Each structure stands twice: as structure tokens, then as C-alpha cells.
Amino acid sequence: MSYRYEIARAVVRQGVIAIIRTADTASAVQAATPLLEAGLTSLELPLTNPGALEAIRVLRADHPSAVIGAGSVLDEASAVAAVRAGAQFLVAPNLDASVIRAGHRYGAAVLPGAGSVSEVVQALEAGADAVKVFPAPTPRWVEDVLAVLPYAPLVPTGGVAPADVPAWLEAGAVACGVGSALARTPIEELKTLLATTR
């Protein structure tokens, strides 16, 4: 059992959150397993995959030291279902206060989405543990936002390649969500990236 702040810290610790976007349970587990075995510790399974909840159950059982979350969590019912399946954190492309409340009620960290400075502030006011900036703008945008909101834990997501992660972290992002590009990255390159990000 972990406190929510410990989960939030673990989610961003390596600077990379892998997004496993596949079509069913088996393909999600198959795609996630080599990444976890390579040392990646933070992984998101979007609920756009109808088998995501079962994949979360399997991966939590098989990799208890990893932090496994659900993505594309758009409403309270989805948030509760994801937490009951074992999701330790919830990610959304948008800001819905009911998702944050439901996640927090059951001890999950929540990373709602924001696309502007106003939405970042609204997400923080609603209790976000970190804010998914979606789609990812530029590292300079992150620098500029942090100049006025230095306490905002930003997670750029959408179009971020593994090779780009160090630049985002240098700009002040706490982590990056990396999806399809990660699947095309050789495992040895991933290990090198993880060794240099944190």
C-alpha cells in the first residue's frame, strides 16, 4: 500500500511514462512486458483498448514493483473501474473534476489533461497530482509556463519521441508520456535513456 503522493512521485521518477496503445489484453501485455523487463517502471494503458482493465490486472500481478495506470479516463465510472482493476494512477486528455475526485477517493494519483495555461491552473486547483500537457507543445512553452507557474508538475504527451525526452526534462517537465515511438525504440536505446533521465 502506498500513499497517493508516493505513487505520484513514482509515476514521474524516471521521466518517462510509457503509453501502451494496443487493441486487446494480450497485445497490451505483450507490448508492455519487454519495456518493464528493460527497467521502465511507469506504464499507462489507455481505456480505448477494451482489454485494458484486464491487462492492468495481469501486469500488476506480474510486475508488482512497477507503477501501472489507466489512460483516456474520461468519466467517474471509468475512473472507479480502473482503480478497481488495479490502476495506481489515472491519466486523461481533458480536465474533469469528477475523475480527480474519484481517483483520489480510492488513493490513485490523477494526471488530467490541459492545453493552455488557464487549464493548467484549473487542473491544479482541482487537485491534479501532475498535469498532462496535451498535445505536447514545445520545450520552450514548458519553460515559459514554469516561469510564471514554477510549481506546476507538467507531463508533455503526444508526439514526444524517446530521443526528445531529455530536452523536455531540461525545460522543466517532470516526465513525458511516450507512446507509439517507444514501441519502435530498440531496448538498448531505452535502457540508455532510462540511465540518463534520472
Positions annotated as catalytic residues are 44, 132
- Residues 178, 161 contacting (CB under 8 angstroms): yes
The count of other CB atoms within 10 Å of the CB of residue 141 is: 15
In one-letter notation, the amino acid at residue 109 is A
Structure-block grid coordinates of residue 187: 531496448
Structure-block grid coordinates of residue 127: 487537485
**Please, what sign has the CA dihedral across residues 94, 52, 60, 174?**
negative
Query: Which run of H or E residues covers position 29?
Result: helix 25-37
CA atoms within 13 A on the CB side of 110: 34
